[in-house]
Structure 1
Amino acid sequence: MNGVLMVMAEGGLVPTCRTEVEAKIPPIVIFSCIMVAIGGLVFCYHVGVSGGLTTMPDFLNKFFPMVYKRIQEKGVDSNYCKYNNQGLQLFTSSLYTSALLTTFLASYTTRKYGRKMTMLMAGIFFQIGVVFNATTINLGMLIFGRLALGCGVGFANQVTNND
């Protein structure tokens, strides 16, 4: 009866013999898992950095002086009141909004040109965003850099999480 399936009373099929197969994990699977982990790391690392950045007094004083003044006031205890600023909200949400919108374009790009080209585009967007954010002198450059970083996140996230 080796290799014959038997019907169980519960309605399932079970093999009559047990043979153990040693499965090896191919290197491409390991590489794919590493790439997916890096894609998630890039997004989560950015969330942590931008959250810490928006509480730094020097950063707030340079780009969001109204928020900085409210933080220095003694009578305001609510963080909602301290950080209620449209420019700061635009700074925070610009990356996520551009990442969301770029993901739709990235799926088309991945289908048409492949993952390598899409990852190359993500890298280009990341580099543009980093250059703008590192050399920023005003809020407009800061927002543009965040939008470019969001495009990079959108492309990279779509490629690494595509089935």
Structure 2
Amino acid sequence: MSNKAQTTPADPEVLSIKSSVNIATIEPYGLRKGVYLSAIVAAIGGFLCGFDTGATSGVLTMISFQEQFFTKDNLEYLQGLLLAFFLMTAALGAFFSGYFCDRFSRKYTILGASILFCIGNVFLVIGYNLGLLLAGRLVGGLGAGLMT
């Protein structure tokens, strides 16, 4: 025989003596909208990073885009720089997002991050030179990082 203590299921009446609530009569809360909303908002940050990187990779391979913004000498370097700027500032934004959430609340941090991401995409849309594209990637990456 083993010397281990034997455990038996707890009796609801005994538990109700120790606490003021009888756990046998507790009704489950059910599905809460706030839990789902929080999960969706948290997933949006990861979606933004993945979607933006995937969409940019497709654009970087277009011949017309390469001819307008790059030369044969700096093609690989600038393509990597465009991708790295977004990911670098996204990592920076993710690092500081906890501080901003504590300081300004999650609601306003997510709102500000969304605005930054939109401003970065406006730079990308109006970007007629490489400087605007790089600025858009920096600002958009910061917004996406704060969103995570």
TM-score by length of 1: 0.71
Query: Greater relative contact order: 1 or 2 (C-alpha under 8 angstroms, separation 6 or more)?
Result: 2
Task: Find the residue that maps to 1:15 and give its secondary structure.
Answer: coil
Structure 1 11/21 Cα, relative in aligned 2: closer, same or farther at 3 Å? farther
Partner of 2:131: 140
CA shift, 1:36, in A, is: 2.1
Amino acid at match of 1:15: P
Q: For structure 2, list consecutive stretches of 5 or more residues without a partner in the other structure.
A: 13-25
Structure 1 139/16 Cα, relative in aligned 2: closer, same or farther at 3 Å? same
Amino acid at match of 1:29: V
Q: 2:92 aligns with which of 96, 101, 110?
A: 101
Q: 1:28 aligns with which of 9, 26, 34?
A: 34
TM-score by length of 2: 0.77
Partner of 2:110: 119
Q: Which residues of 2 match residues 4-153 of structure 1 at below 5 A?
A: 13-15=7-9, 22=28, 24-66=30-72, 85-153=76-144
CA RMSD of aligned residues (A): 2.7
Percent of aligned pairs sharing the same letter: 31
Structure 1 101/23 Cα, relative in aligned 2: closer, same or farther at 3 Å? same
Task: Find the residue that maps to 2:61 and give its secondary structure.
Answer: coil
Residue by residue over 1:68-111, the C-alpha shift from the partner in whole angstroms, topping out at 9 and shown as x without a partner, is xxxxxxxxxxxxxxx96222211110000011112222221111
Amino acid at match of 2:82: F
